[in-house]
């Protein structure tokens, strides 16, 4: 039996995956290790990436290699813990479906723990929900019916999205004809134009490597556009994909204190922020942020950011749902929706979460071009599907 | 931003055993480290031609597999330290303290840069499993395991630095951007957890079976040329 963890980085002890797989295979097969690794590499079609350094690989590519590594001892049972986490829609999810098909053909027993399970309906024989420590069997036909219902409702909801968003508020960000490339490499961003107003929610969707993070860094002012201009009219906060990198102190209380040190009225700032965090369930302010779950840290970073910008600036969120459970994702989206005066730019590589922002302006970033998302093509799920998820 | 990524990649193994034999790779990178150290220790402020030769050779060898532009960009970090050194020496001279001559200063700087390049050459040319094998052969298997766990995640950590930098810059402004170090410490503990999980799932890597082939004639000639030419230049040239 082999377990494939959520985080692909937990599978490698060597910087080059091929070396790592060879070391692992030698334990079981001795001198035949190389041959076995070669077979597994071919099976999962990873010849072109397995020799590259871990840091140059995307989450999806790494996930594929992880599965290859797990196959080395030829396990009968494979357990996947949230396999779709870190994967984008274009390359990732489709890639995982192809792998599942291969594993099915090999006759492997597969157990999948997944929140975004709707993608995998055609590849499973039975479904269960884990509720208060008990496994309850779910009828597949019920789920299919739910999906159809939810899809219809989403399409109906999309019509409403076409109505324009805020227009009475002040402008917080303007991008005019922004072009960007690293050195003499190809253009990463081409002629981007974007206006963000106070209270706007802008979702930018794109696959891994589309240039979303580069765009955020340009907006943040860390990178300068090669051509064009970026104008920021308010304070900007940035929450990285790994939210723990946002935090610098050993307790939540110290985080608040540090943030409020820059303010004129420190006491007021501290009490306001503590109250805000209390409202959202952060009762123990002496707690080490490291002990919070991924989703809780993202939400904490968001709330701290909102307090810092005094409720009317711009927050940039880079893939805020990467490590969160569905419920944590919903909680974060609801939190963001509550602060109507704050502008948010949310970068996503999965369409699954777009429906969490029904009033957002949604764009796709593809080949460096920013364009409004073709809503009708979007395969989104609404809350009807979450009925299967325990409270 | 791409600076930290370039720096990370400079210490990541790029060339597997398919490039040169292990003996050749170790010999060349060791020779490249020893030459500037010898010049600096025994002939301080002398041997201009030998110094230039090793510097150009180090760049050439690095550019075989790595992007030369990236290497040069990373050199800016070392140049910063060199400039600081220049400033300190200029101040010392101004205050009347004994200082090295300009020639000595420049040659020492070039030697330092060459040494840095040679060290990164060693790490690029030797895969971790080869490094582990070498350490195990030297009777240091525990160190080999520790090295594995440490070096495997160093490039990843460097790569995450930029994320922390942006977040903290936005959070506190330029004056407190140093606090990004705290975030990285927290992140390091998480990476340590990842390492622990990897060890739990797959166990510590065993002593690797590394194929050690004899160097080909051309490789032997290459090593000999590098060393003999360097020795010739050190002994004969000014």
Let me know if B88 is exposed, middle or buried by CB neighbors in 10 A (0-12, 13-18, 19+): exposed
Residues B230 and B219 in one domain: yes
| Structure-token match 């050190």, residue found | B234
Range of the domain at B25: 1-126+212-238
Confidence of residue A179 (pLDDT cuts 50, 70, 90): very high
B125/B120 Cα distance (integer angstroms): 8
pLDDT at B17: 45
With CB atoms and an 8 Å threshold, state whether A53 touches B12: yes
User: Given this model, what pLDDT does residue A388 score?
Assistant: 46
**Would you place residue A189 in the very low, low, confident or very high pLDDT band (cuts 50, 70, 90)?**
very high
pLDDT in tens, A272-310: 888 888 888 888 888 888 888 888 898 899 999 988 887
pTM flag (> 0.90): no
Q: Is B156's CB within 8 Å of A9's CB? A: yes
Chain A nearest CA to B94, separation (Å): 38
Placement of tokens 């760049």 in the chain: B59
Q: How confident is the model at residue A237 (pLDDT cuts 50, 70, 90)?
A: very high
Rounded-to-integer distance, Cα B195 and Cα A9, Å: 8
Of B149, B151, B182, the CB nearest to A248: B182
Residues B115, B135 within the same domain: no
Predicted pLDDT at B40: 85
Q: Is B36 on the interface with A (CB under 8 A)?
A: no
Residue B111 sits in the same domain as residue B93: yes
Contact A208, A257 (CB under 8 A): no
Give the distance from CA A349 to its chain's centroid: 6
Given B127, B148, B166, which is nearest A13 (Cβ)?
A: B148
Q: Determine how β-strand A127-131 pairs with β-strand A109-113.
A: unpaired
Q: How confident is the model at residue A155 (pLDDT cuts 50, 70, 90)?
A: very low
Cross-chain CB nearest to A16 (options B13, B197, B209): B13
In sequence order, the 6+-apart residues with CB closer than 8 A to the CB of A247 are A255, A289, A297, A300, A301, B182, B183, B186
- Looking at the fold, whether B62 and B99 belong to one and the same domain comes out as yes
Same domain, yes or no: B116 and B196: no
Q: Are B53 and B162 in a shared domain?
A: no
CA B104 from centroid of its chain's CA atoms: 23
Alpha helices in A58-106 (DSSP H): 59-71, 94-105
The answer to whether the Cβ–Cβ distance between A259 and B171 falls below 8 Å is: yes
Give the pLDDT band (50/70/90) at residue A375.
low
> Which of A84-88, A146-150, B176-180 is the most confident on average?
B176-180
Same domain, B56 and B150: no
Lowest mean pLDDT among A83-87, A372-376, B72-76, B142-146: A372-376
Burial class (CB in 10 A: 0-12, 13-18, 19+), B147: middle
**Of B148, B184, B198, which has the smallest distance from its Cβ to A11's Cβ?**
B198
Helices (H), A30-90: 33-43, 59-71
Same domain flag for B198 and B216 = no
pLDDT at A151 over 60: no
**Number of separate domains in chain B:** 2
| List of chain A residues whose C-beta atoms are within 8 Å of the C-beta of residue B206 | 23, 26-27
3 state SS of A129: strand
Are A23 and B172 a contacting pair at CB < 8 A?
A: no
- B110 with B187, same domain? no
Which residue in B17, B153, B170, B183 has the most chain A C-beta atoms within 10 A of its own C-beta, making it the best mutation to test that interface?
A: B170
Using a CB-CB cut-off of 8 Å, the residues of chain A touching B198 are: 10-13
Give kind and range of the element (H or E) at residue B23.
helix B22-42
Residues 133-192 of B with CB under 8 A from A: 148-149, 151-152, 155-156, 159-160, 163-173, 179-180, 182-184, 186-187, 189-191
Residues paired with A366 in a beta bridge: A369
Among the partner-chain residues B128, B165, B209, the one whose CB lies closest to the CB of A14 is B128
Confidence of residue A195 (pLDDT cuts 50, 70, 90): very high
Residue A230's pLDDT band (boundaries 50, 70, 90)?
very high
User: What is the per-residue pLDDT for A316?
Assistant: 94
**A242 to chain B: nearest residue by CA?**
B163
Q: Do A14 and B204 touch (CB under 8 A)?
A: no
Whether residues A238 and B170 touch (CB distance < 8 A) is answered with yes
A309 vs B213, residue with greater confidence: A309
Residue B64 forms contact with A (CB below 8 Å): no
C-alpha distance across the termini of chain B, in Å? 41
A386/A330 Cα distance (integer angstroms): 10
How do residues A28-52 score in pLDDT, each as one tens digit? 888 888 899 999 998 888 888 888 8
Question: Best of A28, A73, A240 to disrupt the B interface by mutation (most B CBs within 10 Å)?
Answer: A240
Residues B88 and B105 in one domain: yes
Q: Would you state the pLDDT for residue A308? A: 85
Q: Do B169 and A220 touch (CB under 8 A)?
A: yes
What residues of B are in contact with residue A10 (Cβ under 8 Å)?
A: 194, 197-198, 201
Choose among B9, B170, B206: nearest Cβ to A237: B170
Is residue A344 very low, low, confident or very high in pLDDT (cuts 50, 70, 90)? very high
Count of CB contacts below 8 A, A vs B? Answer: 152
Whole-number Å distance between alpha carbons of B191 and B121: 26
| Residue percentage of chain A with pLDDT more than 90 | 20
Place of tokens 């503590």: A274
Judgement on whether residues B191 and B137 belong to the same structural domain of the protein: yes
Q: Which domains does chain A have, with CATH numbers?
A: 2-125 (3.40.50.300), 161-250+288-381 (3.40.50.300)
Residues B54 and B98 occupy one common structural domain = yes
Per-residue confidence (pLDDT) for residue A379, from 0 to 100: 45
Quote the mean pLDDT of chain A.
81
Residue A345 has pLDDT above 50, yes or no: yes
Query: Worst-scoring range by mean pLDDT, A117-121, A153-157, B220-224?
Result: A153-157
Residue A10 to residue B187, Cβ atoms within 8 A: no
Query: In this structure, what are the phi and psi dihedrals at residue A78, rounded to the nearest 5 degrees?
Result: -120, 130
Q: Which of A11, A55, A316 sits opposite B156 (nearest CB)?
A: A55
Q: What is the mean pLDDT of residues B9-28?
A: 70
């Amino acid at each position: 039996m082999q377990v494939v963890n959520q985080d692909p980085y937990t599978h490698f002890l060597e910087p080059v995956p091929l070396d790592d797989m060879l070391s692992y295979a030698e334990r079981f097969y001795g001198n035949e290790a190389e041959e076995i690794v070669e077979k597994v590499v071919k099976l999962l079609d990873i010849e072109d990436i397995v020799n590259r350094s871990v840091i140059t690989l995307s989450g999806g590519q790494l996930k594929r290699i992880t599965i290859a590594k797990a196959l080395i001892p030829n396990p009968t049972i494979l357990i996947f813990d949230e396999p779709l986490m870190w994967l984008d829609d274009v390359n990732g999810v489709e890639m995982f479906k192809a792998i599942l098909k291969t594993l099915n053909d090999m006759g492997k027993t597969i157990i999948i723990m997944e929140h975004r399970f709707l993608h995998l309906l055609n590849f499973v024989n039975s479904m269960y929900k884990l509720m208060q420590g008990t496994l309850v069997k779910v009828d597949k036909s019920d789920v299919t019916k739910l999906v159809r219902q939810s899809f219809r409702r989403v399409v109906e909801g999309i019509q409403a999205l076409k109505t324009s968003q805020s227009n009475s508020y002040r402008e917080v960000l303007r991008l005019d004809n922004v072009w960007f490339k690293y050195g003499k490499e190809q253009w990463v961003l081409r002629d981007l134009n974007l206006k963000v107003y106070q209270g706007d929610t802008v979702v930018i969707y794109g696959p891994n490597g589309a240039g979303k993070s580069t765009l955020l860094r340009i907006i943040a002012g860390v990178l300068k556009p090669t051509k064009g201009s970026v104008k920021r009219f308010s304070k900007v906060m940035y929450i990285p994909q790994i939210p723990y990198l946002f935090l610098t102190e050993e307790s939540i209380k110290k985080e608040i204190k540090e943030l409020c040190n820059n303010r004129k009225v420190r006491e007021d700032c501290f009490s306001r922020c503590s109250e805000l965090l209390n409202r959202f369930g952060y009762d123990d302010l002496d707690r080490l942020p490291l002990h919070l779950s991924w989703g809780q840290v993202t939400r904490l970073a968001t709330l701290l950011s909102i307090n810092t910008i005094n409720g009317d600036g711009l927050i940039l969120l880079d893939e805020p749902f990467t490590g969160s459970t569905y419920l944590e994702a919903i909680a974060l989206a609801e939190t963001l929706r509550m602060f109507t005066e704050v502008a948010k730019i949310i970068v996503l590589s999965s369409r699954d979460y777009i429906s969490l922002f029904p009033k957002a302006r949604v764009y796709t970033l593809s080949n460096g071009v920013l364009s409004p998302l073709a809503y009708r093509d979007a395969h989104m799920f609404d809350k009807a599907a979450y009925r299967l998820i325990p409270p | 931003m791409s600076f930290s990524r370039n720096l990370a990649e400079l210490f990541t193994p790029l060339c597997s055993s398919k490039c040169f034999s292990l003996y050749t790779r170790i010999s060349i990178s060791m020779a490249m480290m020893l030459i500037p150290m010898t010049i600096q220790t025994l002939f301080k402020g002398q041997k201009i031609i030998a110094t230039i030769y090793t510097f150009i050779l180090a760049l050439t060898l690095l550019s075989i597999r790595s992007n030369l532009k990236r290497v040069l960009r990373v050199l800016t970090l070392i140049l910063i330290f060199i400039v600081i050194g220049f400033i300190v020496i200029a101040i010392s001279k101004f205050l009347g303290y004994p200082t090295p001559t300009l020639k000595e200063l420049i040659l020492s700087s070039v030697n330092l840069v060459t040494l840095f390049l040679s060290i990164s050459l060693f790490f690029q040319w030797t895969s971790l499993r080869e490094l582990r094998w070498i350490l195990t052969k030297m009777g240091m298997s525990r160190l080999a395991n520790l090295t594995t766990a440490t070096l495997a995640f160093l490039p990843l950590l460097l790569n995450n630095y930029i994320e922390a930098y942006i977040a903290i810059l936005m959070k506190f402004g330029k004056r407190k951007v140093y606090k990004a170090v705290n975030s990285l410490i927290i992140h390091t503990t998480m990476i340590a957890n990842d390492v622990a999980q990897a060890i739990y799932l797959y166990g510590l890597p065993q002593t690797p079976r590394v194929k050690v082939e004899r160097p080909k004639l051309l490789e032997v000639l290459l090593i000999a040329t590098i060393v003999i030419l360097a020795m010739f230049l050190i002994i004969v040239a000014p």
